[in-house]
């Protein structure tokens, strides 16, 4: 029998997670919520996702737009085993009371503080820690990208220290109001909060992160310098480790992918929903090993990288898979990230 899942908030993350749930063989998408009509609400209807209204939404407004409303968030919560909260940052915290009242399990996103949930989650990093839990938080896009990389490097060679500079996109592609248009904004919190956030997954990981915001919409880029505890044989050994790990995508030099515009063009060519790139992107040309000093870039698609993690979190919380590898493989096949 399939588990019944709702998505509260049908925006950038929510619409992707909804699609991902709908594609899983062991899950049913019971409904999604919107607070006001929009083309995205229209798409929910076209895809056959029952539309519920959240917050102070005006049902009449939906009806005027020709969008039938199936009920309220409370109605929706009454019909599901678990809700994925994809509300704007900090709203998830408020929503938690509703989920508690309804007696449903809930997943929160990385825009919430860690204490919103019992455990912070990354599929490669700590799948087992979320098993059976009631409230789980999937860490943010940048933290997910770092946690995945840690999952590869730490067991293989140990991490003596790690300096990561996060070059962050300033807004998502669909946003029209946020800037800057021309300029670089340092994040004055030094080191940035991303290091401590990765340590919610890997306690004691010796990582120091810094961040700047730049005027692009496509992807974040992480610039990494890791001092490993043991030297890999050569850079090929490192590349092989990334390559065999799920949710890493490597570009070879002959593919002529010189930056994030070409990565996203690849994603458009590949054609997974929304032209997403849910994997950590590694350029083979962008990995360098000097004995134990490993340098590498990775690009992170902020809109989609947490989508498969949400799916795996559902499986962990509802005991749908015996271990991380099984869940990841099932998720990735359903999403087209791995061969069917």
According to CB under 8 A, which residues from 28 to 57 bind a copy of itself? 36-40, 42-43
Q: Does 59 bind a copy of itself (CB under 8 A)?
A: no
Instruction: Give the total of residues touching a copy of itself (CB under 8 A).
Output: 78
Integer CA distances (angstroms), 197 to 130, 137, 202, 206, 329, in order:
16, 11, 9, 12, 26
Count of Cβ atoms closer than 10 Å to residue 37 Cβ: 20
Among 141, 263, 287, 311, the one annotated catalytic = 141
247-266 residues in contact with a copy of itself (CB under 8 A) are: 251-252, 254-262, 264-266
Task: Reply yes or no on whether 240 is catalytic.
Answer: no
Question: What's the closest the beta carbon of residue 263 comes to a copy of itself, in angstroms?
Answer: 9
Q: Does 273 bind a copy of itself (CB under 8 A)?
A: yes
List the one residue from 72, 165, 245, 326 that touches a copy of itself (CB under 8 A): 165
Q: Which is nearer to a copy of itself, 105 or 194 (CB)?
A: 194
Question: What's the closest the beta carbon of residue 267 comes to a copy of itself, in angstroms?
Answer: 9
Integer CA distances (angstroms), 62 to 8, 32, 69, 183, 261, in order:
17, 14, 7, 39, 37
Q: Are 70 and 52 in contact (CB under 8 A)?
A: yes
Integer CA distances (angstroms), 275 to 16, 269, 335, 337, in order:
11, 8, 12, 12
* Phi, psi angles (nearest 5°) of residue 185: -115, 110
Q: Which residues pair with 185 in a beta bridge?
A: 213
Q: Judged by CB under 8 A, which stretch of 20-28, 144-152, 208-216, 318-326 contacts a copy of itself? A: 208-216
Q: Judged by CB under 8 A, which stretch of 76-84, 97-105, 174-182, 326-334 contacts a copy of itself? A: 174-182
218-237 residues in contact with a copy of itself (CB under 8 A) are: 218-219, 221, 223, 225
Q: Are 219 and 264 in contact (CB under 8 A)?
A: yes
Q: Does 100 bind a copy of itself (CB under 8 A)?
A: no
Q: Are 112 and 90 in contact (CB under 8 A)?
A: yes
Q: Quick check: bond before 104 cis, omega within 30?
A: no
Q: Does 167 bind a copy of itself (CB under 8 A)?
A: yes
Q: Does 65 bind a copy of itself (CB under 8 A)?
A: yes
Q: Which is nearer to a copy of itself, 216 or 326 (CB)?
A: 216
Question: What's the closest the beta carbon of residue 190 comes to a copy of itself, in angstroms?
Answer: 4
Q: DSSP secondary-structure letter at 282? A: E
Integer CA distances (angstroms), 82 to 94, 243, 317, in order:
17, 33, 9
Distance, CA of 1 to CA of 102 (rounded, Å): 22
Q: Judged by CB under 8 A, which stretch of 50-58, 69-77, 198-206, 281-289 contacts a copy of itself? A: 281-289
Distance, CA of 307 to CA of 156 (rounded, Å): 26
Question: What's the closest the beta carbon of residue 191 comes to a copy of itself, in angstroms?
Answer: 6
List the one residue from 297, 329, 336, 338 that touches a copy of itself (CB under 8 A): 297
Q: Which residues are catalytic?
A: 141
């Amino acid at each position: 029998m399939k588990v019944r899942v709702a998505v509260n908030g049908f925006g950038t993350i929510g619409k992707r997670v909804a699609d991902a749930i709908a594609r899983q063989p062991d899950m049913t998408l019971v409904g999604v919520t919107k607070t006001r009509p929009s083309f995205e609400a229209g798409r929910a209807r076209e895809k056959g996702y029952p539309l519920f209204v959240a917050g102070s939404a005006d049902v009449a407004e939906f009806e005027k737009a020709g969008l039938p409303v199936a009920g309220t968030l409370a109605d929706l919560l009454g019909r599901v085993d678990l809700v994925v909260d994809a509300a704007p940052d900090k709203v998830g915290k408020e929503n938690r009371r509703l989920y508690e009242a309804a007696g449903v399990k809930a997943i929160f996103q990385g825009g919430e503080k860690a204490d919103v949930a019992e455990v912070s989650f990354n599929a490669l990093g700590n799948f087992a820690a979320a098993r059976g839990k009631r409230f789980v938080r999937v860490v943010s896009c940048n933290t997910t990208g770092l946690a995945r990389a840690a999952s590869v490097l730490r067991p293989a060679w140990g991490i003596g220290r790690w300096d990561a500079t996060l070059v962050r996109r300033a807004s998502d592609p669909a946003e029209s109001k946020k800037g800057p248009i021309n300029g670089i904004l340092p994040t004055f919190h030094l080191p940035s909060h991303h290091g401590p956030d990765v340590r919610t997954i890997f306690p004691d990981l010796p990582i120091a992160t810094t961040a700047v915001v730049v005027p692009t919409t496509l992807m974040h880029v992480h610039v990494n310098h890791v001092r490993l505890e043991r030297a890999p044989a050569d850079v090929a050994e490192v590349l092989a480790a990334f390559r065999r790990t799920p949710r890493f995508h490597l570009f070879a030099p002959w593919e002529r992918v010189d930056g994030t515009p070409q990565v996203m063009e690849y994603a458009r060519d590949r054609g997974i929903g929304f032209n997403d790139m849910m994997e950590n992107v590694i350029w083979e040309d962008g990995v360098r090993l000097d004995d134990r000093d490993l340098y590498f870039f990775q690009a992170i698609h902020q809109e989609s990288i947490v989508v498969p993690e949400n799916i795996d979190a559902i499986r962990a919380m509802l005991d749908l898979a015996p271990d991380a590898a099984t869940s990841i493989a099932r998720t990735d096949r359903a999403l087209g990230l791995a061969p069917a």
